[in-house]
Structure 1
Amino acid sequence: MGFNSLHRQVGLITLSRNAAALCMILALLTFCMGVSAAADIGKRSPLLKSRMEQLRANDRLDIQGVVITGKFVPEFYRQRAYELAWESKAGNALDLLVQIRASEQEGLVPADYYAAEIEQMLAAASKTDLSDSQRVDLDIMLTAAVVRYAYHLRFGKVNPDTMVAGRNMQRSFNSQDPLVEIQELIDSTAFNAELDARISQLPLYHRLRDALVDYRALRESGGWPTVPAGPTLKPDMQDERVVAVRQRLVVTGDLAADTPAVEPLLYDRALQDGVEHFQLRHGLDVDGLIGKGTLAAMNVTVDARIDQIRVNMDRARWVSQELPKTFVMVDIAGFRASLLIDGEVAWDEPVVVGKPYRETPVFREEMTYLEMNPTWTVPPTILAKDILPKLKKDPAYLEQQKMQVLTMEGKVVDSATIDWASTSARGFPYMIRQTPGPHNALGRIKFIFPNPHMVYLHDTPSKALFDRSSRAFSSGCIRVKNPYRLAELLLQDDDNWNREKIDLAIDSLKQQRINLPESVPVLLLYWTVDVGQDGEVYFRDDIYQRDKKVLVRLDGKYHFDAPTDSPDWLKN
């Protein structure tokens, strides 16, 4: 985008100033806690036990206006025999405070981690000895904060299983006892590094984090102007709105600030280049026309873009544990699919995905085989909503589409013997199947990763759709622009196959199943923001209207959902 990298230092400079002030607190805090509590370190606290029994009985504990909930904290202290956890860890307590104050850099909300309350209590500890009750409250609050923040960094704040029906990607502690993990974190001599290790290692996550800093810097500097509504702006037109368009594009780096204007109100060639760059970044038709779609994208507020980035950062946390070195990824909202081999992109092509009312689902499965010259058996939903209505209007539709009617045992039935006008999808006793060939709805090849959604990648005869900027046209499956190259790469470790043999097999029109040498993970994901390696930020339409639901949860009250492999005490 060309933003000055110094923008990214704004939050860090502010944080370092606050950290310097807090270091003064640390010097006093270490002394005060040490004097008042040294004799009690390693001893059981009856008051702490009482607090935890109250939390366990009521499923909530009020501490100076803060409500602590959940089963993790009381179980943590029970296994510690109710010893305070932070008494000799003042440095780590301060590091935690600095981290949670900076949690906005991760797209999170410091208030979720009691930042203000902990800072107030630490500041009080720097001025006077804390009472036993205050020491216990501070210890509990620090533990609750580190548990919650570490969990959010690792898994995301929002539970994806409540957002996406059918999602099967597991959130896992990877067999490590979460209580031991938190205890080791609190005791660590490298606290910041240990906490940072829970941040997603997905490259996209780190690029989104940089983009978040950039867009917050834009907000601090005033954002961008609104472009007034009006007729479509076309190149070479004179219009007063050209001034606002030019200013708008300069703010986000789509147009260089020093780009000369031939005339102030003229939509000239240089401005057209900037508009087309903007359209490319926003998944619009790159035509230089400033119509309703482009105008709407220009007038999305900087706050909305910041929230969009934050939503996708949480999505990145959902999948940070899921990515192997070699896999196929479908970016549903971005209309693209990629094959990564050993972490490097080997194939990347545009795809067509499901319509808004027939959404492509988010899930993970293993691709095990591909099929050349596939037949296509019409799924029940498409039969009811598409095929039967067309047959009622024109019984010749089957012949035109080279489709056959078969019994459930596979015997061909003469379609002329069926009264299509009175036929209903309910109880329909036949299958309708399209023969192999270039006319087939699945094209010449399909890639199978068995799943309950009956979704797969496949070729298509409708190549013109790939020229569209928005490509949500399918019934849920993923249509691929260049499937032959994908097949070649997937079979490159099989000596029986190369590109020439693939072409010959397809030309034969013979239906053929080919098992992959090794299964390949396929991840179907939903991103409405992408960031290139060069820092270019790409925004996409939320075609399935999912962002708002995630944002409400991201900014709302925290609710803990136990990972799949959680111990029974955490699940129940």
Structure 2
Amino acid sequence: MKNLNSLLIITAIGFLFSPFCYASKEIKSINDNLSSKENTLHLENNYSKIFLDSTLTVQPLSNNSIKAKSEVLKEGQYVLSTQFDKLQKVLEKYQTIEKNNQWKRIDINPANYKNLKPTDSGTIVKQIRERLFIVGDLKQDSKSNIYDEELMAGVLNYKKRYGLTLNYELTLEHINQMNEPISNRIKTIKLNMERCREIPENLANASEYIMVNIPSYRLFYIKDGKNEFASDVFVGAKWSETETFTSMMDKIVFSPYWYIPQSIIDNELKLKIFADKNYLEENNMEWNGGRVRQKPGPKNSLGLVKFMFPNQYDIYMHDTPSKSLFLFEKRTFSHGCINIKDAKGLAQSILKNDPDWSIEKIDNAMSGEKETTYELKNKIPVYIGYFTAWVSDDNGEISFFDDIYGKDINTEQLQNTSVVMD
């Protein structure tokens, strides 16, 4: 495992300096089944949730404003228009937990804490079980102090809700996350309810759109009010954040050239060319009209397909050859663009009902030999958002995600000083 972690870290560092776009069971039963379950967990990625965001107006959330917004949103039946109501329902649940003093701190000594694994036992296991029951990850609290199969299932659901790697181990970071005061969780829910207020009307009632939630590193393609497609993504590094905005997707470019932004040429590429005179040729690059571009192919930093939607930030979505980066929980690697794990799947979903584009034609266009641009017959709304709390449309469970760009913290500071954002 240490070797794997080292390899992943090296891979990530290498990528950053390469060109790319902006009921209790018996303990014996647990041991018998654990190995086979662990082998399949890393393949799971069933985060069937929908996310969004936009620029928001920061104002205190009153009960009257919640009620008013709820009444408006009941008129719509699509995913975006119902999220406010779902968050409000979870907010009431968490406020009740706080009122009844059910959010008990899990007692640990960080200095001597050892990662918890199945078959471990102790008071801490009992406390974790109680917490997972209170928030709904467990349907019952057996009061057992043994980390059994029942608790394993609860831990998996907890990690799924928080966008964590799906395994049974509970680290100090996980315990600290559980020990986050419930008052902070309530603030996060309210903040994300406020973000719902700024959903553009054309999206709230649209039957087709694509949205990306930056903190969850997920993309969703919604059609006819249903989730047509989903994929993991990675987004901009903290020094090159992916912006939040709306636009209209109008083109799909297969086997694209990558025209390298001048900022990357000045800050990174020139140094590499100076150090290695064969750098451009070795990386399938060429000069073109005073600019540098990377030719189509499997090693192209944009992968084999990109999705274009005009915006002032020069951000777009695209494939990537660096698939190993999707093994990381925190995926902030790009210069701002959105890198899609299953870009081919997105292209197939968008063009599924287009008689001009069969799967075979899509495969041929993604062969990497020639750039092919297709203008969509119907433009698709795109919504790049920043939601740190979102309620699943499938089961009503809430997910919390890391505030990777510190937007929640900055927003709280603005609220405390009564500043209103545009």
Query: What TM-score does the superposition give when structure 2 sets the normalisation length?
Result: 0.76
1:166-565 equivalences under 5 Å are 196-197=71-72, 201=76, 202-227=81-106, 228=108, 229=110, 230-259=113-142, 261=144, 264=145, 266-323=146-203, 324-408=206-290, 431-507=291-367, 509-533=369-393, 534-554=395-415, 557=418
Counterpart contact for 2:296–2:368, Cα < 8 Å: no
1:112-149 per-residue CA deviation (whole Å, 9 max, x = no partner) reads x8xxxxxxxxxxxxxxxxxxxxxxxxxxxxxxxxxxx5
Q: 1:559 to 1:468 in 2, by over 3 A?
A: closer
1:140 aligns with: none
1:163 alignment partner in structure 2? none
Distance in 2, matches of 1:341 and 1:314, equals 25
Q: State the 1:501 CA deviation.
A: 1.1
Measure how far apart 1:394 and its partner are.
4.0
Partners of 1:231 and 1:331 in 2: CA distance:
33
In the alignment, the residues of structure 2 paired with residue 276 and residue 342 of structure 1 have an alpha-carbon distance, to the nearest angstrom, of: 31
Give the aligned partner of residue 8 of structure 2. none
Residues in 2 aligned to 1:377 and 1:401: alpha-carbon distance in whole angstroms: 13
CA 442–558 in structure 1, closer or farther in 2 if over 3 Å, else same: closer
- Distance, in Å, in 2 between the alignment partners of 1:434 and 1:499 is 26
> What amino acid sits opposite 1:405 in the alignment?
W
Q: Point out the more displaced range, 502-511 or 453-462.
A: 502-511
Question: What is the aligned partner in structure 2 of residue 61 from structure 1?
Answer: none
In structure 1, runs of 5+ residues without a counterpart are 1-105, 114-148, 155-194, 409-430, 562-572
Q: Is the 8 A contact 1:490 1:516 kept in 2?
A: no
TM-score norm. by structure 1 comes to 0.57
- SS of 1:318's equivalent in the other structure is coil
- What is the CA distance between 1:383 and its match in structure 2? 2.7
Cα separation, 1, equivalents of 2:368 and 2:286: 20
Counterpart CA distance in 2 for 1:406 and 1:109 is 57
* C-alpha contact (below 8 Å) 2:306/2:319 kept by paired residues: yes
Shift, 1:399, TM fit: 3.2
On the 8 A contact 2:130/2:143 being kept in 1, the answer is: no
Q: Which residues in structure 2 correspond to 1:53-202 (within 5 Å)?
A: 108-109=61-62, 196-197=71-72, 201=76, 202=81
Deviations 1:537-558 (A, max 9, x none): 1110011110123234456647
In the TM superposition, residue 395 of structure 1 has moved relative to its aligned partner by: 4.1
Describe the shift of the 1:400–1:240 C-alpha distance in structure 2 as closer, same or farther (beyond 3 A): farther
Quote the Cα distance in structure 1 between the aligned partners of 2:230 and 2:417. 37
Partners of 1:107 and 1:313 within 8 A in 2:
no
Structure 2: gaps (5+ residues): 1-58
| Contact 2:247 2:310 (C-alpha < 8 Å) held by counterparts | yes
Q: Report the CA distance between 1:363 and its aligned residue.
A: 0.8
Alignment-derived partner of residue 412 in structure 1: none
Q: 1:468 to 1:322 in 2, by over 3 A?
A: farther
Residue 454 and residue 557 in structure 1: after superposition, are their counterparts in 2 closer, same or farther (change >3 A)? closer
**Which amino acid is 2:87 matched to?**
L
Judged with a 3 Å threshold, the aligned counterparts in structure 2 of structure 1 residues 317 and 199 are, in CA distance, closer, same or farther, namely farther
The structure-2 alpha-carbon separation of the partners of 1:503 and 1:552, relative to structure 1 and needing over 3 Å to count, comes to: same
Cα-to-partner distance string for 1:238-296 (whole Å, 9 max, x where unaligned): 454323322222221223333363xx3x4333323322221111112222222133122
Pairwise CA distance, 1:365:
1.1
Letter in 2 for 1:304: N
Amino acid at match of 2:250: T
Q: 1:381 to 1:200 in 2, by over 3 A?
A: farther
Q: Give 3-state SS (helix, strand or coil) of 1:226's partner.
A: coil
Shift of 1:351: 1.2
Task: Using the aligned pairs only, state the percent identity.
Answer: 32
SS of residue paired to 2:287: strand
Question: Displacement of 1:300 after TM fit?
Answer: 1.1
Q: 1:496 to 1:309 in 2, by over 3 A?
A: same
Q: For 1:325 and 1:369, locate their aligned partners in 2 and report how far apart those are by CA, in whole Å.
A: 19
Kept in 1: contact 2:296–2:369 (CA 8 A):
yes
> C-alpha separation between the residues in 2 aligned to 1:153 and 1:435?
54
CA distance in 1, matches of 2:153, 2:272: 45
Distance 1:474 1:108 in 2: 34
Residues 182-209 of structure 1 show CA distances to partners (whole Å, capped at 9, x for unaligned) of xxxxxxxxxxxxx933779511111111
The one-letter code of the counterpart of 1:221 is: N
Q: How far apart in 2 are the matches of 1:495 and 1:199?
A: 36
Q: Please list the CA deviations of residues 414-471 of structure 1 after superposition, one character each: whole Å capped at 9, or x if unmatched.
A: xxxxxxxxxxxxxxxxx22211111111110001002221111111111222233322
RCO higher in structure (CA 8 A, sep ≥6): 2
| Count of aligned residue pairs for this structure pair | 353
